[in-house]
Amino acid sequence: MLQLATILYSKGFSITIAHPQFNSPNHENHPEFHFVSIPDGLSKTNFSPSNLMAAITALNSNCEAPFQQYMEEMMKVEDPHDRVAGVVYDGFVHFAQAVANNLKLHGINVRTSAAATLLLFAVFPDAHHESLAQAPVPELQSLDVKGILGSTEIPTPILELRATVTDATKKASAIIVNTVHFLEQQTLTKVQEHFPSPVFSLGPFHKLAPSASSSLLKEDTSCISWLDKQAPKSVIYISFGSMVNMNEKELVEIAWGLANSEQPFLWVVRPGSVHGSEWIELLPESFKERVERRGCIVIWAPQKEVLTHGAVGGFWSHCGWNSTLKVFVKEFQCYVDPILGTRFECKVCV
């Protein structure tokens, strides 16, 4: 969302970032924006990454009233030459669309994941949809729907949230998706059949706003100097994103896989990402001794710099959308963004 704000700012918009108090962005990284903190009723003591749906539900419930109050005050004192153009919001914080509706403002829904995820919401918006995985779903072609959903027995709160998010998306004035048109062309056509608002593929955000800092964790840039000492295309880069968790057995299996590969590696292990562990104290001492000279383990890495580094030859990823976009756009095609007219060049052309 901060990257998108940077893109809009570059096109002449003034930007106000309204954010929850919990886990707020670093204002110093974006002096060009005005930041407003919205009371959210959350704290580190009652928030758990393992129960993200509960946190999203709480945000939507707690933030709507204070956000509407702020918007009403803002609209009373606004400069006639700098009026509020609309509310741009992450698709899961649907309360923003409700406020936009109340104030008769444009609500622009942003999907930071693939356009294909919109189809899943469109096809199964009902909290009590039957035959969830039995009947074929033309929109999802031959995908394993049960596998995508995780189970046909989905908790009611998740189903209700999905239905509410889908309803808000259909009421939006427009939908922005962090994707590349040529990558999801057929999917975007199907998405437009389900949602009446215009859908814009305005990605990849990280390419259009390369200088925007959006990391919620402090990046360890020392790994770049370590990469500088490695042979070209020799390093395996391992990062499972900002939310994936694992147990001790999985951590150790990954460790010995890297040790047995005999390849140099850069491994990102987030604090607390391993159940029952603060960081890497569960790794066997024999592993640490074996890979001491060819392994680099950090808390968080500057991923864009790592993926473009000449020493990196492989990426072991959880296949999150941000990581997928970075690798795909880096490796494959030249294209011109159809909306902004921006040209991106592949490695061969560069």
> 158 or 210: whose pLDDT is higher?
158
The Cα diameter of the chain in Å comes to 68
Residue 336 parent element (H or E): strand 335-336
In angstroms, the CA 32 to CA 51 distance is 34
Among 180, 208, 236, the domain boundary falls at: 208
pLDDT at 136: 52
CATH assignment at residue 242: 3.40.50.2000
> 153 or 276: whose pLDDT is higher?
276
Binned at pLDDT 50, 70 and 90, residue 116 comes out as confident
**pTM, 2 dp:** 0.78
Q: Are 90 and 200 within one domain?
A: yes
Q: Where are the beta strands (DSSP E) in 12-134?
A: 16-20, 34-38, 87-90, 107-111
Two tokens, residue 297:
């383990």
Q: Are 92 and 131 within one domain?
A: yes
- Is 90 exceeded by the pLDDT of residue 100? yes
In angstroms, the CA 251 to CA 299 distance is 14
For residue 162, give the DSSP letter: H
Among 208, 238, 265, the domain boundary falls at: 208
In angstroms, the CA 300 to CA 215 distance is 9
Residue 92 placed within a domain: yes
pLDDT tens for each residue of 258-313? 999 999 999 999 888 888 788 888 888 889 888 888 999 999 999 888 988 999 99
Q: What are phi and psi of 246, to 5 degrees?
A: -145, 170
- Phi-psi map region of 140: left, alpha, beta (phi>0 left; psi -120 to 50 alpha): alpha
Contacts of 231 (CB under 8 A, 6+ apart): 264, 311
Average pLDDT, rounded, for the chain = 82
pLDDT at 349: 35
Q: In this predicted structure, which of 63-72, 205-214, 245-254 has the lowest mean pLDDT?
A: 205-214
> 308 or 35: whose pLDDT is higher?
35
- Is 50 exceeded by the pLDDT of residue 133? no
Of the candidates 316, 235, 240, which has an alpha carbon nearest to the alpha carbon of residue 274? 240
CA–CA distances in Å: residue 263 to residues 88, 237, 312 = 44, 10, 11
Q: Are 134 and 36 within one domain?
A: yes
Residue 338 placed within a domain: no
Tell me which residue range forms the domain holding 55. Answer: 2-208
- Is 50 exceeded by the pLDDT of residue 347? no
